[in-house]
Structure 1
């Protein structure tokens, strides 16, 4: 048997866990429509695949680096394949969460928001400073997240030291896998079911997602439209923030200038998550914990010279 990359081990472990979970709870695996598949390819796999190809291609031009470049390309291609499996499983975990645990914790989480209403109001107040500037970018919350995804993997992927790229890829994969499973614990729709946020664009999307989620829950997963493969509601924890914090940490560690740039978008994601009522306050520290676990494990599981050509 060939040597498995660390991320391949995580992918296979996730697959075995998913198969066992599906068997125990009598769940089915769901598949995306072409539109949903394009969304996943464009937003998750593309940012990883591009740098996986570009750097080896540049190095291949140099005769002396061709053997090494080919080895790097093959390893990265395997890593992207494993990552693709984890992304697919993540969205299944998200769909399964409220079928496995139908009890919703929205009331509990909203109670916490009410106790700390001043913090929620602070998020609303901060959003006033940028809301008018988002007229032409109504989906900035998601677009900025994806931009960080693309920029992070491109910058780390173009560095000659592969350690940063490999650890970042694993950390993001772990956030998707562990975060997806954590949705099972105490699921929730989101605070928008109690009060509207200050983003009309987010409110429109939330209404569509809630409609799908309600029908999906009530039918025990039978009422599934593959167009909504990526649209299951899962407020706890905030994986947008978890990913943003992972990108920030690796940028500060391997590309300091990028880390400085990321301070503003990470702050925006944290504020907008609450102001647009995508997330309860408690979702944010939960996302932080997922990020820290992903970073810690990535650094422990991939050591210098590991998974190298």
Structure 2
């Protein structure tokens, strides 16, 4: 009798996202693009370095957890890369697939909660003297959480590592679907944020978006690879979602990370609003999506543990697991 080899959930999820991308491509006549060398160089921090890091730390996880199959890191790495390609293609396609926009509705919510927006902007301005010489701190602070989380959990809590990884790819995939369901460009179309350089980048991306819509899918065929990472999508806020996800895993499984993560999380939340990348409502939706991704990851991991015969849990555990010594 042939032994049944279960398909890892990351493969199933990635295949599903890839099928969705292919279906939308055929339905709307949109070309699927891979990042060009120049495009990857422009935004390499969003893809190339994370791929390198996840490969190194997945290898660490294998060495720390001898029961892990030796081919799993390679499959996980390929799934992560594929989900990234799907994510950025779908984000770039949003204005071709959805002509409606929720910007006006989300802006009304911001106006009703104007004191909160103004507070975030005031806090970010107050931080300028401290952060003046640290260019790109918003992106780098996010990347610090990314790298520290994968490194810490791969080495110190290898049993948690796969849950973290699954959560990341689930959130990346679901976030792209969120862009399609609730399309919005961002509040920068109504007002400038606290950073002139970020505002300039936002309007450059908006100009590319308008140019692509005016020229049609052929523009994507000719320029999509170079501009694969230039898609605009305010809802949901995945920076808020991912920073919450990493903070959640730190609270549950890596308390030594908290003194670093708590201020970074607060900074990302404030800056996401103050820079006008995001409406207020984008943040709780991104965090809720991250919570859903975590739940899915725990369910998926526990149902596919090799040799597991225990009952499948109906919910996430209520209390933290013991920290690694």
- Structure 2 length as normaliser, TM-score? 0.86
Is structure 2 residue 206 aligned with structure 1 residue 210?
Answer: yes
Alpha-carbon distance in structure 1 between the residues aligned to 2:29 and 2:187: 30
* 1:17-36 map, 5 Å: 17-36=20-39
Is this contact kept in 1: 2:47–2:84, CA < 8 A? no
Coordinate RMSD, CA, aligned: 2.1
Report how far residue 218 of structure 1 moved: 2.2
Is structure 2 residue 85 aligned with structure 1 residue 88?
Answer: yes
Unpaired stretches in structure 1, ≥5 consecutive residues: 60-64
Q: Cα deviation per residue 1:218-237 (whole Å; 9 max; x = unaligned)?
A: 22332232221111111111
Report how far residue 304 of structure 1 moved: 7.8
Alpha-carbon distance in structure 1 between the residues aligned to 2:119 and 2:304: 46
For residue 53 of structure 1, what is the aligned residue in structure 2? Answer: 59
Alpha-carbon distance in structure 1 between the residues aligned to 2:147 and 2:206: 28
Report how far residue 131 of structure 1 moved: 1.9
For residue 219 of structure 2, what is the aligned residue in structure 1? Answer: 223
Aligned length: 299
Alpha-carbon distance in structure 1 between the residues aligned to 2:142 and 2:180: 24
Q: Cα deviation per residue 1:163-212 (whole Å; 9 max; x = unaligned)?
A: 31101111110111011011011211111111111112211211221111
For residue 78 of structure 1, what is the aligned residue in structure 2? Answer: 75
* 1:296–1:75 CA distance, 2 compared to 1 (3 A): same
For residue 249 of structure 1, what is the aligned residue in structure 2? Answer: 248
1:7 equivalent among 6, 10, 16: 10
Instruction: Report the 3-state secondary structure (helix = DSSP H, G, I; strand = E; otherwise coil) of the residue aligned with 1:29.
Output: coil
Moved more, 171-180 or 40-49: 40-49
Moved more, 169-178 or 97-106: 97-106
Alpha-carbon distance in structure 2 between the residues aligned to 1:265 and 1:44: 18
For residue 37 of structure 1, what is the aligned residue in structure 2? Answer: 40
* 1:148–1:36 CA distance, 2 compared to 1 (3 A): farther
Unpaired stretches in structure 2, ≥5 consecutive residues: 308-325
For residue 263 of structure 1, what is the aligned residue in structure 2? Answer: 262
* 1:189-208 map, 5 Å: 189-208=185-204
2:128 equivalent among 115, 126, 131: 131
Is this contact kept in 1: 2:29–2:217, CA < 8 A? no
* 1:221–1:259 CA distance, 2 compared to 1 (3 A): farther
Alpha-carbon distance in structure 1 between the residues aligned to 2:272 and 2:202: 12
Alpha-carbon distance in structure 1 between the residues aligned to 2:190 and 2:27: 34
Instruction: Report the 3-state secondary structure (helix = DSSP H, G, I; strand = E; otherwise coil) of the residue aligned with 2:127.
Output: helix
Alpha-carbon distance in structure 2 between the residues aligned to 1:197 and 1:164: 38
Report how far residue 260 of structure 1 moved: 3.8
Alpha-carbon distance in structure 1 between the residues aligned to 2:70 and 2:198: 39
Instruction: Report the 3-state secondary structure (helix = DSSP H, G, I; strand = E; otherwise coil) of the residue aligned with 1:184.
Output: helix
* 1:297–1:305 CA distance, 2 compared to 1 (3 A): closer
Is this contact kept in 2: 1:105–1:188, CA < 8 A? yes
Alpha-carbon distance in structure 2 between the residues aligned to 1:16 and 1:282: 30
Moved more, 212-221 or 34-43: 34-43
Is this contact kept in 1: 2:241–2:287, CA < 8 A? yes
Report how far residue 54 of structure 1 moved: 3.7
Instruction: Report the 3-state secondary structure (helix = DSSP H, G, I; strand = E; otherwise coil) of the residue aligned with 1:227.
Output: coil
Q: Cα deviation per residue 1:141-175 (whole Å; 9 max; x = unaligned)?
A: 1111112111111111113x433110111111011
For residue 100 of structure 1, what is the aligned residue in structure 2? Answer: 97
For residue 111 of structure 1, what is the aligned residue in structure 2? Answer: 108
* 1:135–1:285 CA distance, 2 compared to 1 (3 A): same
Q: Cα deviation per residue 1:40-97 (whole Å; 9 max; x = unaligned)?
A: 443431221121124546x6xxxxx9xx38x554212211111111111111111112
